[in-house]
């Protein structure tokens, strides 16, 4: 048997070849090298452009603002809130906005719900306010209690009264459906004139009006029309026994609240001001209820509120807690948004410290500053350009990035010991969630006490807005949620900033008129990096001069936290007052402890009508001792006088001069 030859590969000299196995190893090596290169490239790219993950979710907090029941002679019949969020803006109740009106105009006030109202609640009360949402829930028995109370000398203000109130008012709505209110056509009852009255009359209206025929009003003896909406009665007054009743036939609280809080579109979305913003973001300036409001140097809603309440108390004067300490005509607060970096504004804070100028600086979580802990945090909506992030991975390789949510940003800036104290916030560059109310819900959940994001637009490309009262006021307010409940967070609008529309003459005018015309709070915002974002000499010069402008006009120069503490404390002052018509005597009992703030002690002032039936004060006493008239000052409109009593228990008596007695003609 022949042996078969073994097959194999014949090698040629000088031309070596690889086996199939070796060739496979070579190909795998090349693949591994390419894969390693791609992996390193991907790692470098991910390191430079990390993978973005979703930010930490913030749980919603359903707790809302509650009133600290004070000893006061103003009673608010609280408006029931909706069980569910309203489906449209038109359905959203605004009766809760009366909390803001009464806090501004009177200071302390008491609250009771319609369901819990009893005749005993009306004792030691001078003024009762019934908002629209509450007035519709009154029955004949509750109206009867108020009728008896008014006849004994009380003052009642009812918003949009229905047919059940006809016996008290003498007139009821015509029975037709409510119509949109277009504008105020007359305000003959206002105690202001000239351009101030014109500013109120020309303000845009966002409210419903219950038509009442003029003929019906004329048929009721003693019924006066003090304000007209579209030529129809808007505010009426009638004497009832020794008291009086006022009726607002339109949504006064909505008219004020929709301007101060802002209005979204019908679907609750807030429009983007320009295409330069990415989807999912808008700005607070987009909340303007009317574009003309962006050009206002007049606090229109505040003028309307003040003059309506001045009309209500004109015939039965009341003592109230003044807005500012020690009779100051207004307040000025300088703030700094830490953009692009707080360290860029060191020259500003150094100058302010040298001038003993209290200010507030908002720091953001991306700020690399070892001493950055503060209770004033500048918040970036997660995923916004420039928002702070956290990166993580293995050792030095951190391919993942997650934007810091609001809660993490607060924890990174605010020290733990601040828990339970006042926390201040501002949204960077006015960035806001397009969902109406979503941002305020998040701030409530964070425990933020005060936000100061509202105000004029910074960039002219977004909204053409000059400096001034874009939201109708410079004073704090609690915004309402979609169920009509006040949020816990207090919004304090910015009035002046160093944006594209900055004008030094306008800035000086706004600060001066805060004292001389409007008795307002002016919050200003000069960004820390203003020399980078707004490199203009007049911007920096005006920042330095603003302190002089404020002090020359006797404004209270303070920081935002201190102002907020005072604003809260003034609402806890114990105050009751009564007016005796026959003796033309206004008597007030009050407890005015000194208000201890962080670095200072402030004293509460009170205000009251400067005249009664056109006659001035004849005499004023405190605990039986005469008060020199030199210790009194006037409000900017001259309607009220301001007095600062010493701390402690005080009884004030103000006696108004009697009618002028005409001498008998000589025969």
Residue whose C-alpha is closest to residue 304's, from 370, 251, 348, 361: 251
pLDDT of residue 620: 98
pLDDT of residue 21: 62
Q: Determine the topology of domain 74-261 in CATH.
A: Rossmann fold (3.40.50)
598-601's contacts with Cβ under 8 Å and 24+ in sequence apart are: 598/561, 598/562, 598/565, 599/358, 599/562, 600/562
Joined tokens for residue 438 = 């979503």
Residue whose C-alpha is closest to residue 451's, from 426, 469, 474, 418: 426
Reported as a single tens digit per residue, the pLDDT across 340-398 is 777 777 888 899 999 999 999 998 886 665 455 688 999 988 766 666 666 544 455 55
According to DSSP, residue 373 is labeled: -
Instruction: Quote the CA–CA distance of 90 and 408 in Å, as a whole number.
Output: 36
pLDDT of residue 291: 75
Domain regions of the chain by residue span: 74-261, 323-390+401-568, 572-656
Joined tokens for residue 112 = 């009771």
Residue whose C-alpha is closest to residue 425's, from 480, 487, 468: 487
- Give, for 540, the enclosing helix (H) or strand (E): helix 537-552
pLDDT of residue 44: 58
Domain 572-656 maps to which CATH number in 2.60.40, 2.40.50, 1.10.1060, 3.40.1350? 2.60.40
- Residues 599/96, Cβ–Cβ less than 8 Å: no
Instruction: Quote the CA–CA distance of 600 and 595 in Å, as a whole number.
Output: 9
Residue whose C-alpha is closest to residue 396's, from 34, 46, 662: 46
Q: How many helices (H) and strands (E) does the chain have?
A: 16, 36
Instruction: Quote the CA–CA distance of 203 and 209 in Å, as a whole number.
Output: 16
Helix 98-105 vs helix 252-261: crossing angle, to nearest 10: 90
CATH superfamily of 323-390+401-568: Glycoside hydrolase/deacetylase (3.20.20.370)
- Residues 608/654, Cβ–Cβ less than 8 Å: yes
Residue whose C-alpha is closest to residue 227's, from 264, 177, 190: 190
- Give, for 134, the enclosing helix (H) or strand (E): helix 132-135
- Residues 557/329, Cβ–Cβ less than 8 Å: no
Reported as a single tens digit per residue, the pLDDT across 448-461 is 999 999 988 777 65
Joined tokens for residue 15 = 């031309």
pTM: 0.88
pLDDT < 70 stretches in the chain: 1-25, 39-70, 174-176, 274-276, 294, 366-373, 383-402, 416-420, 460-466, 598, 662-667
pLDDT of residue 51: 44
Residue whose C-alpha is closest to residue 571's, from 158, 48, 72, 28: 72
Same fold, 323-390+401-568 and 572-656: no
According to DSSP, residue 118 is labeled: -
464: helix, strand or coil: coil
Instruction: Quote the CA–CA distance of 490 and 66 in Å, as a whole number.
Output: 12
CA angle 324, 326, 328 (to 5 degrees): 55
Instruction: Quote the CA–CA distance of 625 and 619 in Å, as a whole number.
Output: 10
* Cis peptide bond prior to 319, omega within 30° of 0: no
Starting at the edge strand found earlier in the chain, the sheet holding 424-427 runs 376-379, 424-427, 450-451, 490-491
DSSP structure string for 314-354? SSS---EE-SSGGG-S-EEEEEEE--S-GGGGHHHHHHHHH
Instruction: Quote the CA–CA distance of 561 and 566 in Å, as a whole number.
Output: 9
pLDDT of residue 191: 86
How many Cβ atoms sit within 10 Å of the Cβ of residue 223?
20
- The Cα-based distances of 449 to 192, 334, 553 in angstroms read 35, 18, 29
Instruction: Quote the CA–CA distance of 97 and 629 in Å, as a whole number.
Output: 36
Number of residues written out for the chain: 667
Paired with 592 in beta bridges are 648
pLDDT of residue 463: 58
243: helix, strand or coil: strand
- The Cα-based distances of 654 to 31, 618, 628, 647, 657 in angstroms read 97, 8, 12, 19, 10
Joined tokens for residue 539 = 């911007």
């Amino acid at each position: 048997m022949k042996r078969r030859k073994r097959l194999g590969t014949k090698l040629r000299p000088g031309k070596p070849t690889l086996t199939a196995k070796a060739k496979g190893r070579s190909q795998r090596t090349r693949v591994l090298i390419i894969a390693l290169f791609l992996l390193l490239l991907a790692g470098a790219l991910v390191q430079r452009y990390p993978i973005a993950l979703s930010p930490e979710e913030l749980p919603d907090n359903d707790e809302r603002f509650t009133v600290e029941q004070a000893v006061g002679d103003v009673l608010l019949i609280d408006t029931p809130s909706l069980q569910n969020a309203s489906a449209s803006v038109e359905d959203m109740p605004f009766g809760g906005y009366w909390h803001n009106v009464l806090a501004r105009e009177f200071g302390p006030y008491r609250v009771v719900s319609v369901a819990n109202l009893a005749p005993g609640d009306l004792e030691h009360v001078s003024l009762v306010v019934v908002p629209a949402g509450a007035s519709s829930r009154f029955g004949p028995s509750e109206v009867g209690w108020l009728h008896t109370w008014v006849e004994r000398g009380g003052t009642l203000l009812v918003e949009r009264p229905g047919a059940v109130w006809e016996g008290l008012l003498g007139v009821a709505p015509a029975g037709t459906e409510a119509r949109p209110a277009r504008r105020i056509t007359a305000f003959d009852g206002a105690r202001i004139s000239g351009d101030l009255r014109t500013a109120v009359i020309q303000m845009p209206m966002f409210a419903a009006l219950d038509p009442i025929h003029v003929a019906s009003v004329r048929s009721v003896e003693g019924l006066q029309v003090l304000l007209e909406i579209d030529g129809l009665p808007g505010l009426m007054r009638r004497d009832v026994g020794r008291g009086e009743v006022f009726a607002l036939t339109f949504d006064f609280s909505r008219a004020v609240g929709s301007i101060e809080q802002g209005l979204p579109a019908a679907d609750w979305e807030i429009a983007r001001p320009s295409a330069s913003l990415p989807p999912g973001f808008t700005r607070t300036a987009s909340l303007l209820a009317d574009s003309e409001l962006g050009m206002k140097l007049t606090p229109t809603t505040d003028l309307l509120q003040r003059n309506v309440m001045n009309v209500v108390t004109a015939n039965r004067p009341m003592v109230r807690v003044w807005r500012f300490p020690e009779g100051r005509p207004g307040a000025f607060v300088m703030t700094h948004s830490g953009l692009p970096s707080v360290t860029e504004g060191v020259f500003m804070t150094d100058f302010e410290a040298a001038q003993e100028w209290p200010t507030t600086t908002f720091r953001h979580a991306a700020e690399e500053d070892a001493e950055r802990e503060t209770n004033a945090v500048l918040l970036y909506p997660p995923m916004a350009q420039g928002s702070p992030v956290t990166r993580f991975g293995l050792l030095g390789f951190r391919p993942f990035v997650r934007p810091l949510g609001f809660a993490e940003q607060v924890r990174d800036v605010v020290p733990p010991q601040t828990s339970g104290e006042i926390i201040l916030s501002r949204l960077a560059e006015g960035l806001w969630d397009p969902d109406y109310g979503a941002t305020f819900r998040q701030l409530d959940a964070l425990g933020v006490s005060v936000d100061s994001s509202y105000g004029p637009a910074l960039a002219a490309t977004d909204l053409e807005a000059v400096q001034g009262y874009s939201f109708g006021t410079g004073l704090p307010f609690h915004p309402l949620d979609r169920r009509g409940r006040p949020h816990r967070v207090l919004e304090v609008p910015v009035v002046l900033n160093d944006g594209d529309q900055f004008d030094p003459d306008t800035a000086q005018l706004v600060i001066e008129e805060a004292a001389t015309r409007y008795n307002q709070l002016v919050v200003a915002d000069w960004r820390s990096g203003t020399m980078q974002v707004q490199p203009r000499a007049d911007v920096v010069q005006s920042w330095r001069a603003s302190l002089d402008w404020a002090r020359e006009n006797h404004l209270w120069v303070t920081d935002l936290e201190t102002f907020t503490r005072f604003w809260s404390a003034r609402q806890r002052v114990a105050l009751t007052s009564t007016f005796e018509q026959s003796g033309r005597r206004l008597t007030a009992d009050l407890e005015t402890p000194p208000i201890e703030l962080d670095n200072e002690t402030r004293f509460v002032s009170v205000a009251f009508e400067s005249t009664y039936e056109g006659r001035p004060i004849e005499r004023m006493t405190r605990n039986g001792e005469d008060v020199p008239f030199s210790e009194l000052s006037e409000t900017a409109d001259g309607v009220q006088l301001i007095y600062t009593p010493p701390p402690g228990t005080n009884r004030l008596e103000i006696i108004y001069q009697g009618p002028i007695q005409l001498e008998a003609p000589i025969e």
